[in-house]
Amino acid sequence: MMAKEKWIAAVDLGGTSVKLAFLNMDGEILDHWSIPTDRSSKGRNIVPDIAKSIFETLHAKQETKDRLLGIGLGAPGPIDYSTGRIYKTVNLGWEDDYPLKQALEKETGLPVVVENDANCAALGEMWKGAGNGAANLVCVTLGTGVGGGVIANGDIVRGAKGAAGEIGHIVVEIEDGFSCNCGKKGCLETVASATGIVRLAKVELERADSGSILKEKFNANQDISAKDVFEAADGGDDLAKRIVDRVAFYLGFALANIGNSLNPDYIVVGGGVSNAGSTLLDPVRKYFKQYAFPPVGESTKIERASLGNSAGVIGAGWLVKKEFSREQ
């Protein structure tokens, strides 16, 4: 009797929910589901809940843990790769460094590989998404903040302290920059995240006369969103178009400098802000080419991420395949 093909269990751990999946060795999702993240009692239930959910789903499929090659897990924080510990992650309830790899291996009896969640998203886009299998790729996530992952020759670039890929903290405004949560001023995150775009927009709105769709919406609601800015720009609103152009300048400028350093095949842009599509990415490409070293500007493609919420689990699955399949 031929042995059954191994599956991979993949986990994308977030502050609100935990996404889980079973993948085959080709990176195809066989099943996916989610459970709430229980942050009570200093997060002590998180790992047992993940293990329980994996085994319950296996049981429902009339499978045992022997079907699994291992577990890949993406977590929202810096990882100590020598030990598999995650540095204190308060939004998960872990007020001290937490032995994430060791704890999940103890709960499941399976080998576990742990990685930062942004890096997992980058690996997912490389393996099965917009990266199209390219070995050199940068992934930028534009959400409430700006995150990133860097892949060189098929491997995640982690850096001396696991802080490589902190694209959001590249300084793009050296004079009169907005304050960033990291303690610096003028970081990309302060002007290219969803909250940063709103911040830029409100500065412009204070200066603007009436006659703008965006201005009227702000006056009516006393607030706006990044989505409002892009929708107004699509509608031809000149004020909104100026704001989008400013965001695209900052992002294109930062990506050009990343491109000049790494010369990736692709720069993949994901996160909620990327839903603006060509309204944002077309001017970003323009500024990228303007500031990139010409061979980089000509060779590097800037594409929208294609995997959505599945990128993290697919990337976590890639880690397991790479780490453990050679042992089979």
Contact 248, 263 (CB under 8 A): no
Residues 10-25 have pLDDT tens digits of 999 988 899 999 999 9
Question: Tokens 């490409």 belong to which residue?
Answer: 285
Residues 225-248 have pLDDT tens digits of 999 999 999 999 999 999 999 999
pLDDT at 123: 95
Distance of alpha carbon 61 from alpha carbon 219, whole angstroms? 55
228: its two tokens: 């409002």
pLDDT at 327: 58
pLDDT at 2: 57
Contact 143, 273 (CB under 8 A): yes
Nearest CA among 182, 200, 183 for reference residue 191? 200
pLDDT of 326 > 80? The answer is: no
Sign of CA dihedral 245, 246, 247, 251: positive
Angle subtended by helix axes 213-221 and 226-234, to nearest 10: 150
Number of other CB atoms surrounding residue 22 within 10 Å? 23
Number of other CB atoms surrounding residue 311 within 10 Å? 31
The pTM (predicted TM-score) of the whole model is: 0.85
Question: Domains plus CATH for the chain?
Answer: 7-115 (3.30.420.40), 130-306 (3.30.420.40)
pLDDT at 90: 76
Cα end-to-end distance, the chain, whole Å? 17
pLDDT at 286: 98
pLDDT of 187 > 70? The answer is: yes
Distance of CA 260 to the CA centre of its chain: 22
pLDDT, average across residues 120-133: 93
